Each structure stands twice: as C-alpha cells, then as structure tokens.
C-alpha cells in the first residue's frame, strides 16, 4: 500500500485553476522530486498536502486513511485538520523560524504545545520536557548544529537556519517530509550544506516530497520525478526516464535550460 495517495486534486484561486487534476502516489522510503517552471503549481500542491491550502476537488490518503475528500465534509472539519497536518513535516523556502526562540527552542516548540494538550502533562511535566529536549538536541546534533543550539536565528547563517527548520520538521516524526525549494534563498556554499543533510535523510529511507530547482540533486537522490507545467503533471518517471529520455517537448525545453553552456 502506498504511504501517500493523491487523486484528482484541483485547486482554484478565484477563477484561475492552479492545480488541474493532479494524481500521484508515494511509497514508504521513496523520494519524489517535483520540478517545473515557476508558476507551474508545485508549491500550491505541497500546501494542499499539508492543508495550508484546501483543495477544491480530489482525495488525499496517508497509509490508507482518507485525510481529505472534497466530497466528504467530515474530512474538512477545522478541528481535524490540525491533527492531519501531523502526517506531514514541512520545510519552507524561507525557514519560518521564530526569531524570539533559540534553535533548540524552535525544534522543541511544536512537541511542547502538543504535550500540553495531553491529560497527563501536568503530572509528568518535568519528565516530558526532558524527553522533548533530549530528542531536539539529538536532531540538532544530526544536523551538525550541536554547538549552535543556544543561538537565535539572527545569529545563524541561512544554511544553519534551514537545518534547524529540517530538525523542527522531523521532531514530530511525520510520515512524509515535504520541502518547498529549501535551497532557493541560499548561496551555493550554504546550498551544499542543506543538500548534504537531505541526501543523508534519503539514505536513511526518509519518505520525502521535494520541490526543487536543483536538477543534479533531483536526478541523484530521487526515486521518482514529477514534471509540472501549467498546473498539470505533464510527465513523470524515474530520473533516467525524465532527465535522459523525456517524452514531452515542454519537459525537453525546461531541462535544456540546465544543460546549455
């Protein structure tokens, strides 16, 4: 059974159809890279997966559970959407760290908020806080930031901020980790830092959906490539199929930009 099933997703902004009948599936441990020109709908698709945007049509399932069905109002209740987001860890283009919190506090925050909603939190507060802090420190150490845990975002480089953001996304142990062009705001050196972490996550069989303009990375790391154009999935397949033997003319034109010169 696929870990993620996306069926016939459509999304409109006013009268403009931004996502046009999008369907794909994802197996556990698989890395899918979504590529395409700016404005092709890639980021909107990720935001629909994480319920930051609500699709107008279609179905989203994780591990066989229907998280969203446009025809079923019960799946669209606001009280349930927050729980459903926990299936997805989101890493944004511009980090979105809280500036008033240290790196460690940023990673701990979401788990702390969820813990406080549990009935036994007050009685076991100290033990729970220690567990959350220990896990956050382990994640930051994994990101190569053991000596930066007490730093605030303004004291970190862009690459370090993005690695904190990745640790934060991993803290809730999501089924699927989503990246929205995580290196587009970084210079080449810092881009390399973040891509190295992502490659290591792929080696650990982390299930990931990655929107990226880093074609070499997508070709090297992904198991499956989706090429989007004007709101459609125009072409998809293995990296070899899409990058070396593209069928669609628009795919060929897009990839040619990265091979010229």
* Cβ atoms within 10 Å of 57's Cβ, excluding its own: 16
Q: Which long-range contacts (CB under 8 A, 24 or more apart) does 16-19 make?
A: 17/231, 18/44, 18/231, 19/44, 19/45, 19/48, 19/55, 19/231
- Report phi then psi at 101, rounded to 5: -115, 150
The helix or strand, by DSSP H or E, that contains position 103, with its residue range, turns out to be: helix 103-116
pLDDT at 259: 65
Instruction: Find, among 56, 47, 53, 51, the residue nearest to 67 by Cα.
Output: 51
Q: Which residues contact 203 (CB under 8 A, 6 or more apart)?
A: none
| Cα 165 to Cα 178: distance, rounded to the nearest angstrom | 12
Query: Is pLDDT above 60 for 249?
Result: yes
Q: Which two tokens stand for residue 6?
A: 């996306």
Q: Chain-wide mean pLDDT for the chain?
A: 94
pLDDT at 121: 86
pLDDT tens digits for range 146-168? 999 999 999 999 999 999 999 99
Range in 59-63, 190-194, 230-234 with the lowest mean pLDDT: 190-194
pLDDT at 260: 57
Instruction: Find, among 66, 55, 64, the residue nearest to 10 by Cα.
Output: 55
pLDDT tens digits for range 55-87? 999 999 999 999 999 999 888 888 788 888 999
Q: Which residues contact 91 (CB under 8 A, 6 or more apart)?
A: 162, 165, 166, 169, 177, 178, 179, 180, 182
Percent of the chain surpassing pLDDT 70: 99
Q: Which pTM value belongs to this model?
A: 0.92
pLDDT at 261: 43
């Amino acid at each position: 059974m696929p870990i993620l099933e996306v069926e016939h997703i459509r999304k409109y902004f006013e009268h403009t159809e931004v996502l046009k009948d999008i369907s794909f599936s994802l197996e556990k441990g698989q890395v899918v890279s979504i590529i395409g020109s700016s404005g092709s709908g890639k980021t909107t698709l990720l935001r629909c997966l994480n319920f930051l945007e609500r699709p107008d049509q279609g179905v989203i399932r994780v591990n066989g559970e229907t998280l969203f069905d446009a025809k079923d109002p019960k799946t669209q209740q606001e009280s349930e959407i927050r729980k459903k987001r926990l299936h997805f860890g989101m890493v944004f283009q511009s980090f979105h760290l809280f500036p008033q919190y240290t790196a460690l506090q940023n990673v701990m925050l979401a788990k702390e908020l969820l813990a406080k909603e549990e009935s036994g939190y007050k009685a076991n507060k100290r033990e729970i806080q220690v567990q959350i802090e220990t896990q956050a420190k382990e994640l930051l150490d994994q990101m190569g930031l053991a000596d930066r845990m007490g730093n605030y975002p303004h004291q970190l480089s862009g690459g370090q901020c993005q690695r904190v953001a990745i640790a934060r996304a991993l803290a809730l142990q999501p089924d699927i980790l989503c990246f929205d062009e995580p290196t587009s705001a970084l210079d080449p050196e810092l881009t390399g830092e973040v891509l190295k972490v992502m490659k290591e996550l792929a080696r650990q069989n982390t299930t990931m959906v990655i929107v990226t303009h880093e074609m070499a990375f997508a070709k090297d790391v992904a198991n499956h490539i989706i090429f989007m154009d004007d709101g459609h999935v125009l072409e998809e397949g293995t990296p070899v199929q899409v990058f070396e033997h593209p069928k669609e003319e628009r795919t060929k034109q897009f990839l040619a930009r990265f091979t010229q010169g």
